[in-house]
Structure 1
Amino acid sequence: WLGAHPPDGPLTESALSAGAPVVTELRCHCLQTVQGIHFKNIQNVKVTAPGPHCGQTEVVATLKNGQEACLNPAAPMVKKIVDKMLNKGSSS
């Protein structure tokens, strides 16, 4: 029975508890994505490039109602939304 149970949490937790600084979670935030959300419902968009935490680009939209939605970065509508949000932010 001793070896039958997996250790508590992912293996990265024990490595992180050794004193290494924790910057972000060491996994992808987006497990599922939606193809697009109407631009008027989006308050903010955060694009995270691939890195050691996740091997894919992640696009997380914060909606005006406070919810977050993961968008498919390859979807044409999502690319338009990201471009609009970037242009909106740089014009202010």
Structure 2
Amino acid sequence: MARAATPAAARLLRAALLLLVLVAAGRHAAGAPVVTELRCQCLQTVQGIHLKNIQSVKVTPPGPHCGQTEVIATLKTGQEVCLNPEAPMVKKIINKMLNKDSAN
């Protein structure tokens, strides 16, 4: 005798089937760009941080994933911090990091 599925189990089954359909449809989308993140990474930014605390800086230009330039600094502690790309201090940090990289 078959048992009726509970409402929670039925919702879970529907969600799993929907996910399966979406994954299968995505595999057939020819020429679709591969984007690891589909949204902006930086929801909040800081105006600047002392250069001695920064290990590296990653600048991501605007694109289909996000309409704004994002500046993400990785600190020597491993923490990532989003910087305001328009802040004068951040512009100086980017220039110093670029000059440091080109000097090597």
Which of 66, 69, 79 is the matching residue for 2:81?
Answer: 69
Match of 2:46 in 1: 34
Residue 24 of structure 1: how far off its partner (Å): 1.9
- SS of alignment partner, residue 60 of structure 1: strand
Question: Does 1:91 find its partner at 2:99?
Answer: no
Asked if the contact 1:16–1:22 (Cα under 8 Å) also holds between the matched residues in 2, the reply is no
RMSD in angstroms over aligned alpha carbons?
2.2
1:1-92 mapped onto 2 (5 Å cutoff): 17=23, 18-19=26-27, 22-92=34-104
For 2:81 and 2:66, the matched residues in 1 are separated by: 17
Between Structure 1 and Structure 2, the one with more helix by share is: 2
Corresponding residue pairs, total: 81
Instruction: Name the CA shift for 1:22/1:14 in 2 (closer, same or farther; >3 Å).
Output: farther
Runs of 4+ in structure 1 over 4 Å off = 13-16
Asked if the contact 1:58–1:70 (Cα under 8 Å) also holds between the matched residues in 2, the reply is yes
When normalised by structure 2's length, the TM-score is 0.71
Structure 1, unaligned runs of 5 or more: 1-7
Larger Rg: 2
Q: Deviations over 1:48-79 (max 9, x none)?
A: 00000000000000000000000000000000
**Structure 2 vs 1, CA of residues 56 and 87 (structure 1 numbering), >3 Å: closer, same or farther?**
same
Q: Describe the shift of the 1:15–1:75 C-alpha distance in structure 2 as closer, same or farther (beyond 3 A).
A: farther
> What TM-score do you get using the length of structure 1 for normalisation?
0.79
Residue 22 of structure 1 and its aligned partner are, at CA, apart by: 3.5
